[in-house]
Amino acid sequence: MSGAGDPELGPPPVRDDLADVEPYGAPQLDVPVRLNTNETPEPPPAAFVAELARRLPELRLNRYPDREALALRTALAAREGLPVARVWAANGSNEVLLQVLQAYGGPGRTALLFRPGYSMYPELCRTTGTATRTVTLAEDGRLPLATVTADVAAIVAEDDPVVTLLANPNNPTGALVDHDVVRALHDTVRGLVVVDEAYVEFAPDGASVRDLLDELPRLVVSRTFSKAFRLAGLRLGYLLGPAQVMADLRRVRLPYHLDAITQLAGIIALEQEDGFLAHRGRTADERERLAALLGRLAGVDVLPSAANFLLVRTARTDVFDRLLEHGVLVRDLSSAVGRPGTWRVTVGTPEENDRLVAALAAVTAPDDAGQER
């Protein structure tokens, strides 16, 4: 028997291009020390939770939220000194970037990416049917001007990428992008240049390319509340750029994509920004302390970082698994970077970082029995 009433008929096969795709995401393992997803270990300020609870009753949750998230975008616009029409907000910067690719990518269009880079970029391109071209960064994780004038220019001549995606600071290398390199990139490509500043609040003042927005008409800057703002559980990201881009994102966003509680929480977080970001100095100090401790171990090489994580290369190639045996979860990047023994670690609490260092010291000790494995 076949047909609409066939009780044997299961769901249709998934889209051909998804048939071999594994669900994406960093492992969420229940281990004592989780340093693999670059959150800030300190919770949001208690004053934030109290204020959110105080103002929640203002919301009329039986009604759909403000589709334009106008109050939140107005607060973001005030923070950035931009008109509200040049600000967009969505569920985490991942959704912002997805919407950018939904609006500008798609079949027959190409995005330009850099390697090593944030692992979601190829995923977002794949789900939107956007082709990719990838340029390799320098050994130290930076994007040199010469790479733009040579490698990027060659790709532009061949495939004319409609979107170029790069992070400042870069994930996983932690390197900042020079403003002149962003200018050169913008001059070289003809499409949109998306600078993802998910970690910029950890970087020294002046690292953001936000001030280039008026100079470079095809530049957009994405940000998130997940990292330095300590609200990864909330899902809130935003985009700054030309009003035309924000108008184009409206064409692809779901109606009411940003819920009312998130909008209110974002407004309160901006009101309390100083409290939220008070940990910045502590986190940067802790990053430098951790980098120094790790770098002292034999066979361990740490890249300088402007973010809240470190890219580590170890002579041993089984470090990820051995650290896990010690209850420490880091992010294995061996295959992403193409070099076994490459991993990224989030700067945790001083206690978590000490546990990582102790575990790594045990794992890399020359007389460690596991060496022979």
Q: To the nearest whole angstrom, how small is the minimum distance from the Cβ of residue 187 to ligand PLP?
A: 24
Chosen residue from 36, 38, 305, 346 binding ligand PLP by CB under 6 A: 38
305 contributes a contact to ligand PLP by CB under 6 A: no
Least separation in angstroms between residue 351's CB and ligand PLP is 23
> What gap in Å lies between CA 70 and CA 317, rounded to an integer?
50
Strands in 42-91 per DSSP E: 87-90
Contact residue for ligand PLP among 132, 226, 263, 308 (CB under 6 A): 226
**252 C-beta neighbours (distance < 10 Å), count:** 15
Minimum distance of ligand PLP from residue 38's CB (angstroms): 5
Distances (CA, A) of 42 to 68, 227, 305, 336, 347: 31, 11, 20, 29, 11
According to CB under 6 A, which residues from 68 to 97 bind ligand PLP? 92-94
Per-residue x/- mask for ligand PLP, residues 228 to 257, rule CB under 6 A? ----x----x--------------------
- Distance between CA atoms of residues 231 and 235, nearest Å: 7
At its nearest, how many Å lie between ligand PLP and the CB of residue 356?
19
Nearer to ligand PLP, 267 or 359 (CB): 267
Work out how close the CB of 200 gets to ligand PLP at its nearest, in angstroms, rounded to a whole number.
Answer: 10
Identify residues 91-150 at the interface with ligand PLP (CB under 6 A).
92-94, 118
Cis link prior to 116 (omega < 30° from 0)? yes
**Shortest Cβ 255–ligand PLP spacing (Å):** 21
The correct pick among 110, 224, 283, 353 for binding ligand PLP (CB under 6 A) is 224
H or E, element range at 192:
strand 192-196
Query: Shortest Cβ distance from residue 156 to ligand PLP (Å)?
Result: 23
Asked whether position 276 contacts ligand PLP by CB under 6 A, the answer is no
| Residue 198 or 345 with smaller CB distance to ligand PLP | 198
- Token pair recorded at residue 203: 């970087």
Does residue 345 sit in helix, strand or coil? strand
Triad 327, 295, 200: Cα angle to 5°: 80
Q: Which lies closer to ligand PLP via its Cβ, residue 111 or residue 363?
A: 111
CA distances from 350 to 40, 169, 228, 288 (A): 12, 23, 17, 12
Cβ-based nearer residue to ligand PLP, 89 or 357: 89
Candidates 135, 133, 126, 134; CA nearest to 107 is 126
Nearer to ligand PLP, 153 or 277 (CB): 277
**Nearer to ligand PLP (CB atom), residue 167 or residue 284:** 167
HEC readout, 104-141: HCCCCCEEEEEECCCCHHHHHHHHCCCEEEEEECCCCC
* C-alpha 222 chain-centroid distance: 9
CA distances from 5 to 9, 10, 147, 223 (A): 8, 11, 59, 49
Say how far apart CA 308 and CA 169 lie, in whole Å: 10
Residue 168 as a binder of ligand PLP (CB under 6 A): the answer is no
Given the complex with ligand PLP, which of 231 and 357 has the nearer CB atom?
231
Which is closer to ligand PLP, CB of 198 or CB of 359? 198
Size of the site for ligand PLP (CB under 6 A): 13
Q: Where along the sequence are the contacts to ligand PLP (CB under 6 A)?
A: 38, 92-94, 118, 167, 171, 196, 198, 224, 226, 232, 237
